[in-house]
């Protein structure tokens, strides 16, 4: 049981560790100290649902709907391109009065953006339904599968809450509009690179 849970934790953590659109968004919100708890909870809970589906054997869904990955890729690429453009425009304008005074968007628009980053990202399905689901087949029996899945879910919660709240350590660096411009420029370029990667 412990070995299965540890394998699940390491598998989940290693897959989520790569810098992606969702992680960049959580990092930005963490730096702004905006709705961090609910955002991290939403991202981790979404991962938990997908991991559970993967472990339960629904990874074959993609095999049943061969066109699904392509549809998700184009939808995700379009969203990333638009969000990346928004961040680059924000960096170009340099108006960060709200961020510097601690004022941010409302909770629901923030969670809606997080939902798009999560559910419109084909790589999320590949990682959770595909890879985590595939590794879980090494463990036989409901107890071992439950332990493996729990470990993978725990990795998501640890990662997102560490990223969201750990971003506050960079707070002193983000006390100027210039620092926010650099951050948004970087995020915008990352979003565009990910969008290109999705459709290439």
Domain borders along the chain are 2-59+68-199
Q: Residue 57, by phi and psi: left (phi above 0), alpha (psi -120 to 50) or beta? A: left
How does residue 14 score in pLDDT terms, banded at 50, 70 and 90? confident
Per-residue pLDDT tens over the stretch 30-60: 888 889 999 999 999 999 998 888 887 655 6
Say yes or no to pLDDT of 89 above 60: yes
> How many Cβ atoms sit within 10 Å of the Cβ of residue 140?
9
Predicted model pTM: 0.74
Distances (CA, A) of 132 to 48, 55, 118, 144, 179: 11, 7, 16, 14, 37
Per-residue pLDDT tens over the stretch 137-191: 777 787 888 898 899 999 999 999 998 998 888 777 766 778 778 888 888 888 7
- What pLDDT sits at residue 18? 62
The mean pLDDT of the chain is: 81
With beta carbons less than 8 A apart as the criterion, state whether 18 and 49 touch: no
User: Per the structure block, which two tokens stand in for 33?
Assistant: 């100290």
- What pLDDT sits at residue 63? 65
Would you give the DSSP letter of residue 137? T
- What pLDDT sits at residue 92? 86
Smallest CA-to-CA distance from 199 within 75, 84, 87 is with 75
d(CA 188, CA 165) in angstroms, rounded, equals 22
């Amino acid at each position: 049981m412990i070995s299965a849970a540890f394998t699940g934790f390491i598998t989940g953590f290693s897959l989520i560790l790569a810098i992606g659109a969702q992680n960049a968004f959580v990092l930005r919100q963490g730096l702004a100290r905006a709705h961090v708890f609910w955002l991290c909870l939403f991202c981790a809970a979404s991962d938990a649902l997908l991991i559970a589906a993967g472990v339960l054997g629904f990874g074959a869904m993609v095999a049943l709907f061969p066109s699904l990955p392509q549809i998700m890729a184009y939808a995700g690429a379009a969203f990333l391109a638009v969000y990346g453009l928004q961040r680059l425009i924000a960096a170009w304008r340099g108006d960060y009065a709200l961020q510097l005074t601690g004022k941010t968007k409302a909770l629901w628009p923030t969670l809606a953006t997080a939902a798009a980053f999560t559910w419109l990202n084909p790589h999320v399905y590949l990682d959770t339904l595909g890879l985590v689901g595939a590794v879980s087949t090494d463990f036989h029996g409901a107890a071992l599968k439950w332990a493996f899945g729990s470990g993978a879910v725990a990795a998501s919660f640890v990662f997102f809450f560490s990223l969201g709240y750990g971003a506050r350590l960079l707070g002193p660096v983000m006390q100027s509009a210039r620092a926010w411009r650099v951050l948004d420029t970087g995020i915008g370029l990352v979003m565009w690179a990910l969008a290109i990667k999705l459709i290439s």
